[in-house]
């Protein structure tokens, strides 16, 4: 473990404890030893699932963003920007529209979201996976976002009633409010499996910095790597969207903040982005929970407010092509 990873883990642990404690009713961890304390329910049924999901979802998004940026050598690559999250959202909305979560199995939502993310990842690789042009890659992402948005809008327009529409819209804005340990158990296997596969791509991503031909000469199978990325991002992004709704920009912001501390090697950025993404989303979720507003601000909205200016800052800096060309 590097010094940076140790610092990030320590910060994440401290923030997790603070997030469990902080709120309208301060709740120390010592309450866990007293099940008869009324605050025990607050800690175990409300705050603990929220903290665990923030860590899981944030870590998955941060790692997915770092991996996609390393693969594409594109500083704007991110599951949300490139339409993978939008396609996962469309898959989940279709499951909600047809009532699969109520009439079939609770696994229907993450499976549908994962299938949507896999379709999005496959289309992305087919449209721009072999291009080194940042413009081509972003345009492919715009196309996927449009396609996912159209499918979601169609489900909304054909929803059987206003209550169904309200449920879908509320879910689309992204939030970890009122989640339970059931959602944690539902998403964790998919997210852990997806993150494990993404971490396994580190050496291949390092080889790709030399170019596709050189990477193939070093024994990297590019078709196998692309398929591995599609499956891994589908699992991690799909499960994340299924339990939290659409929360963007974590995978874009986290690698940019950490890359100056790890250098140009993509594999060195993976674990820090995993921890850093969890730290970023947990901090954001704690902030929206503590900000005194009439109704709690949706986490997806809060991340968009922060992420959109950051996205613009990256474009203005010219980091889309310049940084990667210097590092290659």
Which of the 8 DSSP states describes residue 266? T
CA separation for the pair 328, 316 (Å, rounded): 21
Q: Evaluate whether residue 22 is within a structural domain.
A: no
- Quote the domain boundaries for residue 264: 79-327
Q: Does the pLDDT at position 229 exceed 80?
A: yes
Within 10 angstroms of residue 214's Cβ, the number of other Cβ atoms is 12
Q: Domain for residue 1, yes or no?
A: no
Which residue has tokens 């492919």?
A: 140
pLDDT digits (tens, 9 = 90+) for 254-305: 999 999 999 889 999 999 999 999 999 999 999 998 888 888 889 998 998 8
Q: What is the pLDDT of residue 318?
A: 59
- First-to-last CA distance in the chain? 25
Q: Does residue 83 belong to any structural domain of this protein?
A: yes
User: Does 215 map to a domain?
Assistant: yes
Q: Is 60 exceeded by the pLDDT of residue 5?
A: yes
Could you give the number of structural domains in the chain? 1
pLDDT for position 323: 45
Instruction: Find, among 2, 37, 45, 57, the residue nearest to 20 by Cα.
Output: 45
Q: What is the pLDDT of residue 320?
A: 46
The C-alpha atoms of residue 85 and residue 113 are separated, in whole angstroms, by 9
> Which has the higher per-residue pLDDT, 323 or 261?
261
User: Would you say 87 and 129 are in contact if contact means Cβ atoms under 8 Å apart?
Assistant: no
Instruction: Answer whether residue 119 is part of any domain.
Output: yes
Q: Is residue 46 part of a domain?
A: no
Domain assignment present for 12: no
pLDDT at 129: 59
pLDDT at 57: 96
- Residue 327's pLDDT is 45
CA distance 195 to 238: 12
**Closest to 197 (Cα-Cα) out of 223, 238, 230:** 230
Please provide the DSSP assignment of 149-206 as one string. Answer: HHHHHHHHHT-SSHHHHHHHHHHHT---TT--HHHHHHHHHHHHHHHHHHHTTHHHHH
pLDDT over 50 at 321, yes or no: no
pTM (2 d.p.): 0.87
Return the CATH number at 234. 1.10.3470.10
**pLDDT in the model for residue 106:** 67
| pLDDT tens by residue, 39-66 | 899 899 989 999 999 999 999 999 999 9
Residue-level pLDDT at 324 = 47
Q: Is the dihedral of CA 151, 154, 156, 160 positive or negative?
A: negative
Residue 328 tokens read as 């290659």
Write down the pLDDT at residue 29. Answer: 86
Residue 217 has pLDDT above 70, yes or no: yes
Over 90: is that where the pLDDT of 160 sits? no
Per-residue confidence (pLDDT) for residue 131, from 0 to 100: 60
Within-domain flag for 173: yes
Q: Which residue has the higher pLDDT, 281 or 125?
A: 281
Q: How far is residue 36's CA from residue 145's CA, in Å, rounded to a whole number?
A: 48
In the chain, what percentage of residues exceed pLDDT 70?
92
Structure tokens at 90: 């469309």
Average pLDDT, the chain: 85
Look at residue 232 and tell me whether its pLDDT is greater than 80. yes
What token pair was written down for 215? Answer: 């990477």
Residue 73, classed as helix, strand or coil, is coil
Give residue 313's pLDDT: 80
pLDDT value of position 128: 67
For 41, residues 6+ apart whose C-beta sits below 8 A from its C-beta are none
**What letters, b where the CB count within 10 A reaches 16 and e where it falls short, cover 278-294?**
bbbbbbbbbebbeeeee
Q: What's the rounded Cα separation, in Å, for the pair 226 and 49? A: 33
In 10 A of CB 211, how many CB atoms? 13
Q: Average pLDDT, stretch 64-70?
A: 92
């Amino acid at each position: 473990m590097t010094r940076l990873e140790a610092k990030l883990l320590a910060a994440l642990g401290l923030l997790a404890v603070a997030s469990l404690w902080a709120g309208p009713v301060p709740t120390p961890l010592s309450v866990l030893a007293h099940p008869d304390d009324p605050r025990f329910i607050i800690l175990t049924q409300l705050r603990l699932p929220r903290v665990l999901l923030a860590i899981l979802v944030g870590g998955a998004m941060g790692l997915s963003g770092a991996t996609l940026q390393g693969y594409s050598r594109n500083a704007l690559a991110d599951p949300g920007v490139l339409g993978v999250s939008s396609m996962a959202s469309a898959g989940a909305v279709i499951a909600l529209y047809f009532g699969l979560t109520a009439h079939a199995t609770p696994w229907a939502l993450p499976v549908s979201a994962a299938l949507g993310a896999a379709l999005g990842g496959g289309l992305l690789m087919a449209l721009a996976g072999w291009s080194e042009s940042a413009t081509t890659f972003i345009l492919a992402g715009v196309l996927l976002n449009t396609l996912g948005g159209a499918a979601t809008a169609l489900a909304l327009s054909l929803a059987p009633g206003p209550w169904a529409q309200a449920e879908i819209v509320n879910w689309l804005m992204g939030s970890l409010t009122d989640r339970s340990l059931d959602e944690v158990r539902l998403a964790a296997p998919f997210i852990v499996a997806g993150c494990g596969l993404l971490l396994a791509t580190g050496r291949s991503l390092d080889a790709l910095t030399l170019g596709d031909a050189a990477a193939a000469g070093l024994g990297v199978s590019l078709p196998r790597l692309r398929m591995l990325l599609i499956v891994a991002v589908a699992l991690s992004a799909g499960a994340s969207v299924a339990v939290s709704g659409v929360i963007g920009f974590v995978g874009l912001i986290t690698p940019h903040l950490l890359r100056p501390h790890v250098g140009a090697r993509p594999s060195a950025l993976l674990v820090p982005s995993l921890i850093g993404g969890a730290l970023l989303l947990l901090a954001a979720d704690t902030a929206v929970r503590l900000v005194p507003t009439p109704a709690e601000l949706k986490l997806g909205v809060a991340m968009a407010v922060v992420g959109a200016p950051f996205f613009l800052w990256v474009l203005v800096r010219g980091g889309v092509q310049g940084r990667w060309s210097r590092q290659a």
